[in-house]
Chain A
Amino acid sequence: MSEPLIFKRYYVWQLPVRICHWVNALSVLLLSISGFLIGYPVIVGSSPESFLMGWVRFIHFVAGYALIISVISRLLWSLNDHCFSGWREYFPFLTREGRKQILVMLKFYFFIDRKTPDAVGHNQLAVTAYVGLFLIFFGMFVSGFALYAEYAPGGTMHAVLNPVYLILSTQTLHLYHHIGMWLIICFVINHIYSVWLLDIKEKGGEITSIFSGYKYTTKVHVFSEGKECDENGCFIKVKK
């Protein structure tokens, strides 16, 4: 028997992070459903006045704007100095220590080892996936708004996105937009499964953390610059 170790409580997800997360989740859900209905309109209008497709498209555009505003807000928020929401946390694959932790997580997933990474906030493999997700989001914004702006050629949005039209045809944009949706759906399946799994395996309140903001852990987060953080997620000076 080892000596009892207390789970330490960390404030990992600040309120803006949680709001952005749920706006993203809701928008992606709405965008996928309405987007699918735009591609395959199984809806049947009873009369020419019913405007069913009109509303579906309206929901798609509003959700699209909500998502881009949320993603931009989150990117701006990552400029702050918090340990777990700052932009530095998103590129562990650039440091040796980070790559080591990614390998630990991969070994866990492939049943090679039972150890999970030294992470309090996002684990190092997850943030790498989020960088990929944001890149897909970026592709979806470009293709989505390029398709949207075609209602007003010569408008500001159309003019800004003009290089896109010169490279890709409208039909190709549609194709990439569909593929992007399926990649995001695959991400969502992975994401929900992983938080569920780690909630059980780490017993740190992984799932409730995105509601409350707090996680419980026995671990110490590995930061690239050898920094440490306190229970509020603020950087503290290293004693060494």
Chain B
Amino acid sequence: MSKQQNSDASEKTEQSLETREYSVGEILKQRGVSRRDFLKFCTAMTAAMSLPASFATSVAQALDEVKRPTLVWLNFQDCTGDSEALLRAANPTVGEIILDILSVDYHETIMAAAGHQADEALESTITKYKGKYLCVVEGSISMKDDGVYGCTSGKTHLEIARKVCGSAAATIAIGTCAAYGGIAAAVPNPTGAVGVKDAVPGATVINLPGCPCNADNLTATIVHYLVFGKIPALDGKGRPLFAYGKRIHDNCERRPHFDAGQYVEHWGDNAHRKGFCLYKMGCKGPATFHNCPTQRYNEKTSWPVASGHGCAGCSEPQFWDTMGPMYKRLPNVPGFGIEQTADKIGLGMAVGVGAAFAVHGVISALRKDKKPEETREG
């Protein structure tokens, strides 16, 4: 392995090779992470995985002993928003720790190597750790015209995904694009964009949708894999139940206002200033499963509803097409032009039917009944 790698390109890889035999706990110690910070991290992860607090010690014990996993990070049709979310957190202690415990052997955005050297790093990693490494995919995969609309180093994303995700222990599809095609897959989907599971049906895929994905959920998923040696329990859409098992609406801090009947009617009105429910402003919290209200973003600083804007439903499949219009409760009815809601059409239908029968009633009243011999009345 080290023979094939030459000069500066493999510096990073060699460094990981050296330290790969150390356990996560040892590496963290080497990097100067205090025991106290490590236990705080383990407790936070236990909470993120929806485990009882008593599991924190088990998580710490397991992380102490486990060997650091190898990870490759692939960027396809994306905006690098998920990498940004992970790397540029305002106070990135958790992010730092997760980068420290992972051996990120390939990440196009942040790796030092470039060109053929980068390709070699990826090739050698997936060959040496076949079936053992973790793969994180960011961005959707173009399927149309054999995937020619998305290529990296001359190979289509589809080809790369089949090869890399196909022989990974597990693939984490980070962000809505990688999970379900996301914005690139919105109608009319010119590149035929799909999520990882649709592109590589045989791969073991964990979907972590969100725009961007909450970095804490990525960390917790990896910690779950390290601690329990298997992927977390998933819902029907391939998302970990610990992060996507509850509807936003049911955990929302503004929920009491919903149940009470207190709603924002206009942006900036008194109700908006008081922090009432955003239901009537088209909040998609009632249709979206995510742990935003409890986990929040950027070191638990805030999330959309807390900042006074409704949920956009970004962690649901095809959210760009099904969750719109953003500031309306219901989708428009296709085929009836813009701004035609089901209820406008329905009301028109009911009025039409009512009017038709009213006219029918008038005509029936004016119309002579059947002749006596025909009615055969006694």
Interfacial residues, chain A to chain B (CB-CB below 8 A): 1-2, 4-7, 39-41, 43-45, 47-54, 56, 109, 111, 114-115, 150-151, 153-154, 162, 165-166, 169-172, 174-175, 178-179, 181-183, 185-186, 189-190, 193, 196-197, 200-201, 203, 218
Q: Which of B34-42, B56-64, B327-335 contacts A (4 or more CB under 8 A)?
A: B327-335
* Complex Cα gap A2–B346 (Å): 49
Extra A-B contacts (14), CB below 8 Å, given A48-B256, A114-B370, A183-B349 = A4-B378, A39-B343, A41-B263, A44-B261, A111-B363, A153-B246, A154-B245, A169-B316, A170-B287, A171-B322, A179-B342, A182-B345, A193-B361, A218-B376
Does B291 touch A at the CB level, under 8 Å? no
Beta-carbon contact of B357 and A185 below 8 Å: no
Beta-carbon contact of B236 and A171 below 8 Å: no
* Complex Cα gap A49–B363 (Å): 54
Q: Could you say which residues of chain B place their CB within 8 Å of the CB of A165?
A: 236-237
Instruction: Specify which of A151, A171, A193 lies most central, judged by the most chain B CB atoms within 10 Å of its CB.
Output: A171
Given A53-B258, A111-B367, A153-B289, also A7-B245 (CB < 8 A): no
Query: Considering the complex of A and B, which 3 residue pairs feature the smallest CB-CB distances, nearest first?
Result: A182-B346, A45-B261, A52-B261
Beta-carbon contact of B350 and A182 below 8 Å: yes
* Complex Cα gap A166–B316 (Å): 11
* Complex Cα gap A79–B20 (Å): 71
Given A52-B261, A150-B247, also A175-B342 (CB < 8 A): yes
Given A5-B377, A54-B259, A172-B331, also A190-B369 (CB < 8 A): no
Q: Could you say which residues of chain A place their CB within 8 Å of the CB of B357?
A: 189-190, 193
Q: How far is the CB of B45 from chain A (nearest CB, A)?
A: 22
Q: Which residue of A lies closest to B341 (CB)?
A: A178
Q: Which residue of B lies closest to A47 (CB)?
A: B260
Does B75 touch A at the CB level, under 8 Å? no
Q: How far is the CB of A109 from chain B (nearest CB, A)?
A: 7
Q: How far is the CB of B273 from chain A (nearest CB, A)?
A: 15
Beta-carbon contact of A185 and B261 below 8 Å: no
Cβ proximity bits B359-372 to A, threshold 8 Å, 1 near / 0 not: 01101100101101
Q: Which residue of B lies closest to A200 (CB)?
A: B364
Chain B, 205-244, CB within 8 A of any chain A CB: 235-237, 241
Q: Could you say which residues of chain B place their CB within 8 Å of the CB of A115?
A: 370, 374
Q: How far is the CB of B155 from chain A (nearest CB, A)?
A: 32
* Complex Cα gap A40–B322 (Å): 20
- Chain A to chain B contacts (Cβ below 8 Å), 13 pairs: A40-B280, A41-B261, A45-B257, A45-B260, A48-B256, A114-B370, A170-B322, A174-B329, A181-B346, A183-B349, A189-B353, A190-B353, A196-B361
Q: Could you say which residues of chain B place their CB within 8 Å of the CB of A2?
A: 372-373, 376
Q: Could you say which residues of chain B place their CB within 8 Å of the CB of A171?
A: 284, 287, 313, 322-323, 330-331
Q: Could you say which residues of chain B place their CB within 8 Å of the CB of A175?
A: 330-331, 333, 342
Q: Which residue of A lies closest to B256 (CB)?
A: A48
